[in-house]
Structure 1
Amino acid sequence: MARSGKTRLVADKRRTTPRGEKPAAKPARKRRAKPTARKSRGLLGWLLLPFGLLIRLGWALAWRGAAIAAAILLAATIYNYARIPDMATLSDGRARGSVTLQDREGQTFAWRGDNFAGLITLDGVSTQLSNAVVASEDKRFYKHFGVSPRGIVGAMRSNMQAGRGPFSGGGGSTITQQVAKLLCLGQDWDQTLGMTEAQFEADCRVGSVWRKLKEIPYALALEAKFTKDEILAIYLNRAYLGAGARGFAAASQRYFGKSVARLNPSEAAMLSGLLPAPSYYAPTNNLQRAQDRAETVLRLMREQGYLTSAEFAQALEQPATLSSAAGQDTGGYFADWVMSAGPDFLTGETTEDVLVRTTLDQRIQKAAEDALAAVFEASVSPESEAQGAIVVMSADGAVRAMVGGRDTRGGGQFNRAIQAVRQTGSSFKPFVYAAALDLGMRFDDYILDAPLTLNIPGSGAWSPENYSRNYAGEVTLTDSLARSLNTSTVRLSEQVGRDVVRKVATDFGINSDLAAGPALALGASESTLLEMTGAYAGILNGGTSVTPYGLSSLTLRGDDVPLVDHESGLGERVIQENAARQLVYMMYQGVERGTGKRAKLPDGRPAAGKTGTTSSYRDAWFIGFTGDYVAGVWMGYDDNSPLTGVTGGGLPAEIWRETMVRVQEGLPVRPLPMIDAEAEARPAPAPQVVQQRPAPQQPQHQQPQPDLAERILMDVLGGIFRRN
């Protein structure tokens, strides 16, 4: 059969496996195995294998350690954040208050304690000040998050280049970290810590590694709690800037006498320059050094764009200078005395801010300081360690000036006007004559000046001598005092009674332990210059005792009513007014023609006073007064060595004269409150001779004392006269 053109149909291939049986599995297709080329590590590979393992282990430990450190840092930051108080609380962290001292005119002249002028914010601060602080302390302040790694690394590099350890010297601290230091990481000082406040603050600023690590979470917490401006404001409020100024507001008032809002670039730069070392750069210690440091800050401000070239040039041409009050630096001894005389809880130990009004007259204070310096420069060898002290006061005891030594800068020094207890010598004699005059004797009564020997129980015979070794015979009380005769003064003291003399001196304010023997009359007792000057003020005012005082009023800052108000130091009457007027005349003669002639004032201005020189010339005094003021001068050595060629009528009288010439400048001539001797002279030609009581029944060396009845009578009469 022939093939047709159609395609042949072929049936599908049927299953040949019996039903119910599985077909035989196809043989698995063999995959072609990849060739495994096992490379040999070689010697280098085996050597590097441990390092690879260490790297992998180190990486594992590092990221796990970093995670743990981050967790710890976060926890510490949260903890510090929760315990940081508000800004107002942080801004004034002082443990004690401040005392601002003003003179009699209300002008500030001294500060004590930590002065704080109140909370300030950046809105109340000169822009120049905030710029100066940022430029000099932390130029990236507004860019970092509280800690500057770049700054820390740079500081470590600088420290090592300088041969120090990486954490010794500059620490690269940001302003935020410095605030953390100022806050002592949130810990406040108290007395139970066993260290002073200064030691506590020093410990807070220790630059140890552990301290710096603790600063980091505290700084981060500050950044989270406050804005940048608030952190900077805390810094401006807390920083110590020398001279007792805590914060820039107080420092601005302390150094420039102006508000912190009115600081110009040069003043702002000077204050900012104090931050690294406040005491060293303080302008009150060295103005030129402070100005040099300020110039460095100005250059930083110029480099960082805070000052134009014109502003920079002007600031260099007109550097900051101290205010008149800060520049004078007077009254340090006076301020120390007022602080010691006031109540501790309102002065040295105060936790409040106190305003003290004093009796100080800065013009008189400067006059006294200049007079002491002028005489020492002209008449004392520069190598000499001799010292001098001056007190000037009004007749009511108001102290107008106090110089406690030749070094008048600053406070806290040994104040010879109040702390040096020295023998008074002949400057004590006016109290002997005051006792005699108060008991009815007269300025023109006579007393014998002749050799005298007295028996001192337990010491034997004592024979006083005059300075000249000569004797004047019968002399008036006026001549005896004016010429400072010793034997006649001792006779008068024995005539009046030592106990009466002692009582008059004590009532006039000499509180020191007075000698019991006859040498009392010659100033064998010790006293301070302040006590003696106050006692002489009682003579000037007519016989009324005074208590020297320097504190007029004491007020808490912000209050209107003073807590303490002191208007006068006048006390009880000691001698009759007529007796005081006679004594003033007698002391006036001592300046006119006696031992105090070198204290005589020009232009016919009357003055009265008394010289004093102790045995072996260890102390030299001159104390006197005009119609306006009483002034006392002491001169000697701190170690009680003898003076060479110096008596009370020499250099002390010259210092007194130089002081009073300056003090009285421009004041009208005021007469002394003294008697008219010619009008009150006795009409009888024969003078009355006042001698030692005769003792015919006893040998010369046994000097009888008035019996008890006579003593009582004299005391009663003296008391009656004093009350008149």
Structure 2
Amino acid sequence: MGQTGGRRGQLVADRRYPAKTAQPKRGATPRKSVRTRRGGRGGGGMLGGIFRLIGRTVWAFAWRIALLIAVIVGGATFYFYQQLPDYRQLLDGRNRGSVTMLDTNGDVFAWRGETFGGQVTADKVSPFLRDAVVATEDRRFYRHFGVSPRGIVSAIRINLSEGRGPFQGNGGSTITQQVAKLLCLGVPYDPKRWKTEADYESDCRSGGLKRKIEEIPYALAMEIKYSKSQILTIYLNRAYLGAGARGFEAAAQRYFGVPAAQVNPQQAAMLAGLLKAPSYFAPTTDLTRSQARASMVLDLMHEQGYLTDKQFREAKASPATLSDAAQARAGSYFADWVMDTLPDFLSKDTTEDVVIRTTLDQRVQTAAEEAMAQVFGAKVRDSSAAQAAIVVMSADGAVRAMVGGRQTKVSGAFNRATQAMRQTGSTFKPFVYAAALNAGWTPETIVDDAPLTINVKGSGPWSPKNYTERYLGPIPIWRALANSINTATVRVAMSVGLDAVRQVATGFGFGADLAQGPAVALGVSETTLLQMTGAYAGILNGGSSVLPYGVTDLRLKGDKVPMISNTGGMGDRVISEKAARELIWMMRQGVLQGTSKRAGLSGYEVAGKTGTTQSARDAWFIGFTADYVAGVWMGYDDNRPLSGVTGGGLPAEIWHNVMARVEKGQPAHPLPMAQPGEWGGSSNDGQDWNSDEPIPEGGVPVVDGRLVSPSEAAKTQGSTGQSDAGQDDQGQQSNSLGQAIDGVLKSLY
């Protein structure tokens, strides 16, 4: 049916039947109309109106506040976006450089500062490493937009359940937010604002609600500016992973000796596990703890599908271990000493990466560490606090090994080889005899070993005693040194002059603060083990001083021209070569038949000297073969006496064990020493007469300036009538020398 005017109306089906009126069920109460039931015009009365008003008010405030927050976050995000540089400028954020040390073979053995192994990218590192980091730190990394509300809520719940504040402990940070912290939200280090870099980094990593709020726009800006791969690249390069390693490339090289591109699943898991607490989980600190942490990371990687069942089982069965260099951690004391010898701007405070080639020989270093551990393990109580130090060097002063204490796997510890000033005891005596030999004496010049009292001005009478409290009478000076006889040594020192003795000791590098009285001859002055070992190196090299050194070449990383180059530590001549050769022969007798017998090495010529200070507070042995000079010191840090230890005991035994390892497999070379015939002495190489013959009363018999047996002395007396009146090389009667020395003593003191 047509319709006129306007639009055509909607077609509606005609009702075929009249509408039925709903009848209430029998017994039911008629329902009120909707209008009546809701009260008035659909309302719930006054209470309903109040609720609706509150709801509308809250909504009005909420969306306005949300809009304001969005504007603020958006503005902050835009601001940070504008400030962000190219991501490649953010890969190395260190404010200082690093120091890498190489041994004599060019192998890395130590790092100082924060080492940066070089830039790596997320797509170039091992896939296992990339996956381990994501699985451990941010499993939704590729799905969120920089912030994970779910992660934050979960972290708050964990913190509260463990009794911490909501933002203390777990932070729920995404990798992007962690990068924001590493970049310190773009705030550079300012020494005027932060006293140290540690304060700066602590401030950057601080938690709390304020920091979380600040991280959000910065993280959003990075997500807009950079790709996920670029954000992960920044993280892989800037994260600190313990042991001075900044970035995963440096850490992979530091712990495993391989680049980050080649790490296997178990190594990747160990590296990723360090992110939680780098110093605590560092494998160089506790390998077992680090392996346990890596096992948890492997579980996560397997659960999230990054490892197949086979890869997971193999990685679990073969945990990551340290490389040989990282495991050895050789030369920590040596490395600390090298750092102390260099200017700060090239070591502690360097802003560049520095590479140092050193004199360290890791074979010798390992020998020293193992030898000390063996002797202490077998001969010293576990509860003992006694300490020891070892230095091994070449004759020119090049230090080949250094152990500054019983704990060798340490850095920054007190170094007893270089920092402990201790009395030297009888290890000083070779300087006394060096002065005498340099003045024209010979090893067979006679000196009287008898009781002696000197009236020291300002101190009164002083009577040195021999360790055995026995006196041998007139003896050659080589025997006085070999048997470490105190009274004879003091007589020699007074005869040649205390100034001459101090001059020789100082020339060899002992130090300037030497005692002024006659007790200087018995080693009452203090010095370090390094200086004493260097002084003995001067004897071995023929009488020239040496300056112990550890650096042969220093250059900036990548440079071909070194900034520092050193070819040796030889200095000025202190004594004549003849005197040095004779002194070496005399010190050789100490090993053959004197106080140093424990240091002898089968098949190698050894010379040396023991030393024990008053009340056995220090025990020393310093000696050499033709190839190396080695010094050993034992004592307590608090200077209390040792129990049953002398220089000829455990120190000589440690020295023997060190050098037996060092010389093993090396060709034996003769010591550069004079022979008795060269100065007109006896040809018995200083050997004892038949030890079954008793020493006669009055001392050891001497004929023609040399020791003889009692029977030979009797024959000589019968034929010449003079048993101890032989002439020495200076044309003096030997029996008159002792009288002359005593006369000098009486006149001076």
Q: Is the contact made by 1:611 and 1:649 (CA closer than 8 Å) also made in structure 2?
A: yes
Report the equivalent of 2:723: none
Secondary structure of residue in 2 paired with 1:461: strand
Deviations 1:439-479 (A, max 9, x none): 11101110111111112121111111111111111110100
Report the equivalent of 2:278: 278
Q: Whole-Å Cα distance in 1 between the matches of residues 191 and 534 of structure 2?
A: 39
How many Å apart are 1:644 and its aligned residue?
Answer: 1.0
Report the equivalent of 2:149: 149
Report the equivalent of 1:413: 413
- What runs of 5+ residues in structure 2 fail to find an aligned partner? 1-34, 683-702, 705-725, 729-733
Report the equivalent of 1:458: 458
Once the two structures are superposed, the pairs formed by residues 118-517 of structure 1 within 5 Å of their partners are 118-517=118-517
Deviations 1:207-265 (A, max 9, x none): 10000000000001111111110000000000000000000010010011111111111
Once the two structures are superposed, the pairs formed by residues 61-140 of structure 1 within 5 Å of their partners are 61-140=61-140
Report the equivalent of 2:637: 638
Secondary structure of residue in 2 paired with 1:193: coil
Q: Does 1:616 find its partner at 2:662?
A: no
How many Å apart are 1:196 and its aligned residue?
Answer: 2.1
How many Å apart are 1:163 and its aligned residue?
Answer: 3.0
Q: Is the contact made by 2:43 and 2:49 (CA closer than 8 Å) also made in structure 1?
A: no
Q: Is the contact made by 1:495 and 1:693 (CA closer than 8 Å) also made in structure 2?
A: no
How many Å apart are 1:512 and its aligned residue?
Answer: 4.4
Report the equivalent of 2:737: 691
How many Å apart are 1:286 and its aligned residue?
Answer: 1.4
Q: Whole-Å Cα distance in 2 between the matches of residues 515 and 694 of structure 1?
A: 24
Paired positions, count: 667
Q: Is the contact made by 1:133 and 1:272 (CA closer than 8 Å) also made in structure 2?
A: yes
Q: Whole-Å Cα distance in 2 between the matches of residues 45 and 307 of structure 1?
A: 65
Secondary structure of residue in 2 paired with 1:192: coil
Deviations 1:16-58 (A, max 9, x none): xxxxxxxxxxxxxxxxxxxx98945999733344333222111
Deviations 1:429-448 (A, max 9, x none): 00000011011110111011
Q: Is the contact made by 2:274 and 2:281 (CA closer than 8 Å) also made in structure 1?
A: yes
Report the equivalent of 2:584: 584
How many Å apart are 1:382 and its aligned residue?
Answer: 0.9
Q: Whole-Å Cα distance in 2 between the matches of residues 694 and 216 of structure 1?
A: 92
How many Å apart are 1:377 and its aligned residue?
Answer: 1.0
Report the equivalent of 2:710: none
Q: Whole-Å Cα distance in 2 between the matches of residues 411 and 39 of structure 1?
A: 84
Q: Is the contact made by 1:95 and 1:190 (CA closer than 8 Å) also made in structure 2?
A: no
Q: Whole-Å Cα distance in 1 between the matches of residues 133 and 225 of structure 2?
A: 21
Report the equivalent of 2:525: 525
How many Å apart are 1:329 and its aligned residue?
Answer: 1.2
Q: Whole-Å Cα distance in 1 between the matches of residues 661 and 138 of structure 2?
A: 51
Q: Whole-Å Cα distance in 2 between the matches of residues 170 and 101 of structure 1?
A: 38
Question: Against the structure 1 CA distance between its residues 695 and 658, is the aligned structure 2 distance closer, same or farther, given a 3 Å change threshold?
Answer: closer
Q: Whole-Å Cα distance in 2 between the matches of residues 521 and 359 of structure 1?
A: 33
Q: Whole-Å Cα distance in 2 between the matches of residues 512 and 410 of structure 1?
A: 31
Q: Is the contact made by 1:492 and 1:692 (CA closer than 8 Å) also made in structure 2?
A: no
Q: Whole-Å Cα distance in 1 between the matches of residues 147 and 195 of structure 2?
A: 30
Q: Whole-Å Cα distance in 2 between the matches of residues 415 and 381 of structure 1?
A: 22
Secondary structure of residue in 1 paired with 2:383: coil
Q: Is the contact made by 1:108 and 1:325 (CA closer than 8 Å) also made in structure 2?
A: yes
Deviations 1:135-191 (A, max 9, x none): 111111111110011111122222223333322221111000000011111112232
Task: In structure 2, give the amino acid aligned to 1:703.
Answer: S
Report the equivalent of 1:15: none
How many Å apart are 1:94 and its aligned residue?
Answer: 0.6
Q: Is the contact made by 1:495 and 1:692 (CA closer than 8 Å) also made in structure 2?
A: no
Report the equivalent of 1:564: 564
Q: Whole-Å Cα distance in 1 between the matches of residues 332 and 218 of structure 2?
A: 41
Q: Is the contact made by 2:491 and 2:741 (CA closer than 8 Å) also made in structure 1?
A: no
Task: In structure 2, give the amino acid aligned to 1:58.
Answer: V
* Greater displacement, 134-143 / 163-172: 163-172
Task: In structure 1, give the amino acid aligned to 2:737.
Answer: Q
Q: Is the contact made by 1:455 and 1:703 (CA closer than 8 Å) also made in structure 2?
A: no
Report the equivalent of 1:606: 605
Report the equivalent of 2:748: 704
Q: Is the contact made by 1:100 and 1:355 (CA closer than 8 Å) also made in structure 2?
A: yes
Pairwise CA RMSD of aligned residues? 1.9
Secondary structure of residue in 2 paired with 1:123: coil
Q: Does 1:647 find its partner at 2:646?
A: yes
Q: Whole-Å Cα distance in 1 between the matches of residues 230 and 357 of structure 2?
A: 35
Q: Whole-Å Cα distance in 1 between the matches of residues 395 and 600 of structure 2?
A: 20
* Greater displacement, 610-619 / 681-690: 681-690
Q: Whole-Å Cα distance in 2 between the matches of residues 160 and 465 of structure 1?
A: 74
Report the equivalent of 1:7: none
How many Å apart are 1:355 and its aligned residue?
Answer: 0.6
Q: Whole-Å Cα distance in 2 between the matches of residues 701 and 395 of structure 1?
A: 36
* Greater displacement, 497-506 / 149-158: 149-158
How many Å apart are 1:483 and its aligned residue?
Answer: 0.5
Q: Whole-Å Cα distance in 2 between the matches of residues 303 and 703 of structure 1?
A: 92
Q: Does 1:669 find its partner at 2:662?
A: no
How many Å apart are 1:270 and its aligned residue?
Answer: 0.9
Task: In structure 1, give the amino acid aligned to 2:346.
Answer: L
Secondary structure of residue in 2 paired with 1:191: coil
Secondary structure of residue in 1 paired with 2:356: strand
How many Å apart are 1:678 and its aligned residue?
Answer: 4.3
Report the equivalent of 1:628: 627
Question: Against the structure 1 CA distance between its residues 442 and 59, is the aligned structure 2 distance closer, same or farther, given a 3 Å change threshold?
Answer: same
Report the equivalent of 2:554: 554
How many Å apart are 1:680 and its aligned residue?
Answer: 3.8
Q: Whole-Å Cα distance in 1 between the matches of residues 233 and 69 of structure 2?
A: 31
Task: In structure 1, give the amino acid aligned to 2:651.
Answer: P
How many Å apart are 1:123 and its aligned residue?
Answer: 3.1
Secondary structure of residue in 2 paired with 1:124: coil
Q: Whole-Å Cα distance in 1 between the matches of residues 286 and 681 of structure 2?
A: 65
How many Å apart are 1:687 and its aligned residue?
Answer: 4.9
How many Å apart are 1:695 and its aligned residue?
Answer: 8.9
* Greater displacement, 641-650 / 41-50: 41-50
Normalised to the residue count of structure 1, the TM-score between the two structures is 0.90
